[in-house]
Each structure stands twice: as C-alpha cells, then as structure tokens.
Amino acid sequence: MKHLGILLSGRGSNFEAIATAVASGKISDTRIAIVISNREDAGGITRARELGIETLVFPSKGKAREEHDSEVVAALQQHKVDLVCLAGYMRLLSPWFVKQFPHRILNIHPSLLPAFPGLEAQEQAFAYGVKIAGCTVHLVDEELDHGPIILQKAIPVLDTDDEQSLAERILEQEHIAYSEAINLVLNGEFKILGRKIIASDRLPER
C-alpha cells in the first residue's frame, strides 16, 4: 500500500480528482495518508475532512520558509508518505524540502511548460493568443514550475473561448492528467535521463 501526501492552498479540485481515482481503484493499492495546507480557509481542507481524510494546517504567514518546510516534511514523514503531490500549493519548496523526497514530489501546472510558468497561467496563455493550451505534471525541483516533465495534455483554444472557459477545459484535463502521472510514478515504469522521463519499455538499447 502506497501513501500519498497532498499539499494544497485553495479550492482543491485536483485533490478531489485524485481522491476519486483512489476510491475507484483507478489509482490502486494507494491511500491518501494526509492532506496538508498552509491555509486554514482552503476549500480543499474542508472537502478532505468531509471525505474523512486526515488533514493538517501549518499556517505559513510570517514564518521563515525553512521553519515552515520542516514542519511539513516532519508531518509527511510521520505519515510515511511515498509520494508528495502539490495540488495548488502556493509556496515554493526550499531546496532542503526537495532533497527529502528525491524524485518523489509532483506538481501540476495549468500550461504547457515551459510556456507560462507562475501565476495565472491560463490568463497568460489566453492573452498571448496561443492556439494550443494545456497542462503539465512534472517532478519538482528547486525552481518554480521547472522539473522534468512526466506528462502533458493539450487542448485547442477555440475562437469562442474566453479566459474562463479555457481555464475550465484545462482543469478537466488536469484532473485526468494527475492520476495518470501518479500511476506512472508509483509503478516506477520510467527512467530519468537528464530532463527526460522515458517509459522503461522505450529506453534505447545500449
């Protein structure tokens, strides 16, 4: 049985999609051991409690990054978390945090990275006038929205789209992508070659 730890700061729809995939067995032999937020008012925390999943809140406001990160890491370790999933967690992890879970921290971002990192990626994409948008699940490293890409989902930007409809259609893809990426990582069916994540059965022969 693998243990997931989810970190979130907001509404938590990606967390909920992961919880649904776990409950239905789409992500098998896995449980969500803990949901952690830096904000007590995060919708995702309320939802996790409704679902009977254990939650912890460590307010980050006014606290040094190292201090906050050490609280969060200790809680993840106590809950024997195998894989940390950032799901709308609005904090950059310290290099020390990243080192505690080598290749075991995932993030989801609502753009086709490396385009539009940072805040309001969907609005950035819409304003830029791109014709293809999407989302990315990647391994977390020390830089924002930067680590090796596990998978991406692309959608066309329609002439009829506005910022909101585009963001909604990207979000639908996020909910599919995150569970797929978690399965890939938990099953360990890949190798990391530099920035490239390659399915084990497709590795070049040496």
Chain residues that interact with ligand GRF, rule: CB under 6 A = 8, 10-14, 44, 87-88, 108-110, 171, 174
| Nearer Cβ to ligand GRF (19/185) | 19
Q: How far apart are CA 68 and CA 31, in angstroms?
A: 25
Look up residue 139 and give its two tokens.
């391994």
Smallest separation (angstroms) from ligand GRF to the CB of 12: 5
The smaller minimum CB distance to ligand GRF, of residues 104 and 153, is found at 153
Q: Which of 67, 52, 45, 42 is nearest to 22 (CA)?
A: 52
Q: Please list, residue by residue across 143-153, b when 16 or more beta carbons sit within 10 angstroms of its beta carbon and e when fewer do.
A: eebbbbbbebb
The catalytic residue among 79, 103, 109, 146 is 109
Q: Is 109 a catalytic residue?
A: yes
Closest distance between ligand GRF and the C-beta of residue 90, in Å? 8
| Distance from C-alpha of 138 to C-alpha of 109, rounded to nearest angstrom | 8
Gap between the Cα atoms of 14 and 23, Å rounded: 14
* Residue with smaller CB distance to ligand GRF, 30 or 136: 136
We find the least distance from the C-beta atom of residue 145 to ligand GRF, in angstroms, to be 8
Q: Which residue is nearest to ligand GRF (CB)?
A: 88
Q: What are phi and psi of 149, to 5 degrees?
A: -85, 130
Give the residue numbers annotated as catalytic, written as ranges.
Answer: 109
